[in-house]
């Protein structure tokens, strides 16, 4: 969840690091800090500036108390151990101030380590697990920083990325990856470290992706990658073709709105080159053969949050099209359960970042039990993509807002493509059905564009919801899956209490909470259960609810019961989740805007959940 930046080169480090940290704000944070090796050659010291709150507070401190030096590290923290405070902000130093660290993740045995260090006379100034690492490195140092770091991390249990800098060896930075992501950016006479590629994309397009269990040393000339246990690693350079402007707001007030409007392009990109007009599908990175596709007896989907909701749509897609029993499991539940995963099965692990700790653990569990693992992710070179047997990239591009929108849509489209790929082999999706769905997929970008063209109607509807205390979302089948994601978007950024349920579940308890004026949002696109869902709408209307519906533009019945209708273009019912979610994303955005909240960085949340 935290952001890491490091720099070694000829330029002043602090401004570069501060800019990079700003580009990592999407990961969520509660404090920020920078440490720089001072320029003074006579008496090398490390100067630290850090502060609770947004990066702008740190920037103000740096304006008053500048840092001068060409080697430095920086960090944005999301609290796990110790409350957000100036003292608990990273970077952390040992008692001498000559060893400084930043760290993402959790040190699981830090209490034990801290007790031992306290007994040896070490003095701590924070409540964090991270500070333990600074003291451990200082304790182990005998003139070689790399070996000190190597020995220190042998004592530390957990999942983390650690970056270490020392006044004793001021020309280099040492970093270790144990699960949490870390990349190296290679410049001309300068080298960068970061927890995510967009942080330094404006400076270089050449990267080394550091793997789990590796140590990297950077200096101005480049980087050396080794195993933590010893041994040089030869890693090819990854060249990134992203346009740096993708990571900017592009004239929109918020990243979230920009990313909502990028969805037509994202859907196009996800389908591009993968789907023929005939419905034939080619998925680069998906390497299983026809024999395996024909042999699948069970399909598992595991994910968290928005990715889980995408998986709910996937379950309907795979069950309906492939007639394969499909289970969708929260990754944090699956990893501690005893799931009946066996071969021959396919597990689809969905994660925008490819670094979600719970999803990685569940995916590893499924694979250990003989299931073939397919990674559905947005990030090239992510841990999930490297550990999977097959990879299906969503091609959504960098997503900055914590509340996911375009990545979710891309996850849906990718699952349709996967279903077509498997269905043609198994003989359950014939040429006519494949061509029909293929036409529908190619039409989706224009249909999403049409929904976006009616944003004004959504903004007006938001006014009726902004002052509510409770909001309920209902739907059936695929509409229920969309309702789940719509409800999550609303609660994430507006802080309204919101919950979603199948429409038929209302009468089993929740109807008692529906009173005059209670907003109920219904998604109505599934013809097979349309009448049943309309019955639920009539039930809440009879109790005075204010009903906002999402329905097809040619649905003449829905207006008789709903107080307001957000219209979407008619499409195949199976594909409707891609268009139906868009007005709900916009609704959440406009409600949050009316309520005056921080839309791109909602409280207590982070973009990439890399700890359990």
Query: Helix, strand, coil: what percent of the chain each, to 5?
Result: 40, 25, 35
Task: Report pLDDT for 395.
Answer: 84
Other CB atoms within 10 A of residue 126 CB: 18
Cβ distance 559 to 543 under 8 Å? no
Task: Check for a shared fold between 249-450 and 455-594.
Answer: yes
- Among 283, 275, 245, 278, which residue's Cα sits nearest to residue 262? 245
**More confident of the two residues 166 and 105:** 166
In angstroms, the CA 197 to CA 182 distance is 9
Domain 455-594 sits in CATH at: 3.40.50.10490
> Of 3.40.50.261, 1.20.120.1200, 3.60.20.10, 3.30.540.10, which CATH number belongs to 3-246?
3.60.20.10
- Among 457, 492, 497, which residue's Cα sits nearest to residue 582? 457
> Can 607 be counted among the known catalytic residues?
yes
Strand pairing of 92-93 and 99-107? Answer: antiparallel
Q: What is the pTM of this model?
A: 0.77
- Among 577, 574, 571, which residue's Cα sits nearest to residue 555? 571
* Per-residue pLDDT tens over the stretch 408-451: 999 999 999 999 999 999 999 998 999 999 999 999 999 999 99
Task: Report pLDDT for 1.
Answer: 55
Cβ distance 313 to 412 under 8 Å? yes
Cβ distance 313 to 303 under 8 Å? no
In angstroms, the CA 209 to CA 220 distance is 18
> How remote is the C-alpha of 53 from its chain's centroid?
22
Average pLDDT, the chain: 92
Region 563-581: what's the mean pLDDT?
Answer: 96
In angstroms, the CA 292 to CA 346 distance is 9
Residue 606 has pLDDT above 80, yes or no: no
Task: Report pLDDT for 78.
Answer: 77
Task: Report pLDDT for 79.
Answer: 75
Could you tell me the pLDDT band of residue 197, with boundaries at 50, 70 and 90?
confident
Q: Which residues pair with 37 in a beta bridge?
A: 46
Token duo for residue 327: 């289970």
In angstroms, the CA 75 to CA 40 distance is 24
Alpha-carbon distances of 502 from 137, 319, 473, 560, rounded to whole Å: 54, 18, 8, 21
**More confident of the two residues 309 and 1:** 309
Region 257-279: what's the mean pLDDT?
Answer: 88
Residue 2 has pLDDT above 90, yes or no: no
Give the list of residues 6+ apart from residue 254 with CB closer than 8 angstroms, or none: 401, 589, 599, 600
Strand pairing of 519-524 and 214-219? Answer: unpaired
In angstroms, the CA 178 to CA 154 distance is 11
In angstroms, the CA 516 to CA 544 distance is 4
Q: What percent of the chain clears pLDDT 90, i.e. is strictly above it?
A: 76
Give the list of residues 6+ apart from residue 89 with CB closer than 8 angstroms, or none: 31, 32, 33, 50, 51, 52, 75, 77
Write down the H helix ranges in 355-430: 357-368, 383-387, 406-426
The pairs formed by 435-438 with CB atoms below 8 angstroms and a separation of 24 or more are 435/277, 435/278, 435/279, 436/279, 436/572, 437/279, 437/572, 437/574, 437/575, 438/275, 438/276, 438/277, 438/278, 438/279
In angstroms, the CA 24 to CA 27 distance is 6
**More confident of the two residues 245 and 526:** 526
Give the angle subtended at the CA of 259 by the CAs of 578 and 449, to the nearest 5°. Answer: 50
> Can 460 be counted among the known catalytic residues?
no
In angstroms, the CA 596 to CA 38 distance is 41
Region 273-277: what's the mean pLDDT?
Answer: 82
> Of 3.40.50.1470, 3.40.50.10490, 3.20.10.10, 3.40.50.300, which CATH number belongs to 249-450?
3.40.50.10490
Domain ranges of the chain: 3-246, 249-450, 455-594
């Amino acid at each position: 969840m935290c952001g890491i930046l490091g720099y070694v080169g000829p330029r002043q480090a602090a401004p570069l690091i501060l800019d990079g940290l700003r580009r990592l704000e999407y990961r969520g944070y509660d404090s920020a800090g920078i440490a720089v090796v001072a320029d003074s050659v006579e008496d090398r010291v490390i100067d630290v500036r850090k502060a609770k709150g947004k990066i702008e507070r740190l920037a103000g401190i740096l304006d008053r108390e500048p840092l001068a030096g060409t080697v430095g590290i920086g960090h944005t923290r999301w609290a796990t151990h110790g409350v957000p405070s100036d003292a608990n902000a990273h970077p952390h130093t040992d008692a001498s101030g000559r060893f400084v660290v930043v760290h993402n993740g959790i040190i699981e045995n830090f209490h034990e380590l801290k007790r031992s260090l306290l007994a040896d006379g070490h003095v701590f100034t924070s409540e964090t697990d991270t500070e333990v690492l600074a003291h451990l490195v200082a304790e182990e140092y005998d003139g070689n920083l790399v070996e000190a770091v190597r020995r220190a991390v042998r004592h530390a249990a957990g999942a983390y990325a650690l970056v270490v800098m020392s006044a004793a060896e001021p020309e280099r930075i040492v970093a270790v990856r144990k699960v949490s992501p870390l990349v190296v950016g290679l410049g001309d006479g300068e080298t960068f470290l970061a927890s995510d590629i967009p942080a330094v994309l404006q400076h270089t397009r050449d990267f080394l992706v550091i793997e789990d269990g590796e140590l990297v040393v950077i200096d101005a000339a480049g980087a050396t990658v080794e195993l933590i246990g010893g041994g040089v690693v030869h890693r090819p350079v990854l060249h990134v073709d992203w346009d740096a402007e993708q990571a900017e707001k592009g004239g929109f007030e918020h990243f979230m709105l920009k990313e909502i409007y990028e969805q037509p392009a994202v859907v196009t990109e996800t389908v591009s080159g993968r789907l023929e007009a005939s419905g034939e599908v080619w998925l680069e990175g998906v390497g299983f053969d026809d024999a395996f596709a024909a042999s699948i007896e069970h399909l598992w989907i595991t994910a968290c949050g928005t990715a889980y909701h995408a998986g709910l749509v996937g379950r309907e897609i795979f069950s309906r099209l492939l007639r394969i029993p499909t289970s969708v499991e929260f990754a944090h539940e699956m990893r501690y359960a005893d799931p009946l995963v066996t071969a021959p099965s396919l597990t689809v692990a969905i994660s925008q970042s490819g670094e979600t700790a719970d999803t990685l653990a569940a995916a590893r569990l499924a694979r250990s039990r003989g299931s073939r693992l397919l990674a559905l992710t947005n990030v090239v070179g992510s841990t999930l993509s490297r550990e999977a047997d097959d990879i299906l990239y969503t091609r959504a591009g960098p997503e900055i807002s914590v509340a996911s929108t375009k990545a979710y849509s891309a996850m849906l489209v990718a699952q349709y493509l996967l279903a077509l790929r498997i269905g043609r082999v198994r003989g359950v999706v014939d040429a006519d059905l494949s061509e029909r769905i293929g036409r529908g997929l190619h039409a989706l970008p224009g249909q999403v564009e049409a929904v976006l063209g009616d944003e004004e109607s959504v903004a007006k509807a938001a006014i009726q919801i902004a002052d509510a205390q409770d909001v309920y979302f209902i739907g059936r089948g695929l509409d229920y899956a969309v309702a789940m994601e719509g409800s999550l978007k609303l609660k994430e950024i507006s802080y309204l209490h919101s919950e979603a349920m199948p429409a038929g579940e209302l009468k089993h308890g929740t109807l008692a909470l529906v009173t005059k004026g209670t907003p109920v949002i219904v998604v109505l696109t599934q013809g097979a259960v349309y009448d049943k869902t309309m019955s639920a709408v009539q039930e809440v209307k009879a109790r005075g609810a204010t009903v906002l519906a999402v329905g097809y533009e040619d649905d003449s019945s829905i207006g008789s019961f709903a107080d307001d209708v957000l219209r979407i273009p008619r499409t195949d019912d199976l594909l409707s989740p891609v268009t139906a979610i868009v007005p709900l994303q916009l609704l959440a955005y406009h409600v949050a805007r009316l309520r005056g909240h921080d839309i791109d960085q909602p409280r207590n949340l982070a973009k990439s959940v890399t700890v359990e």
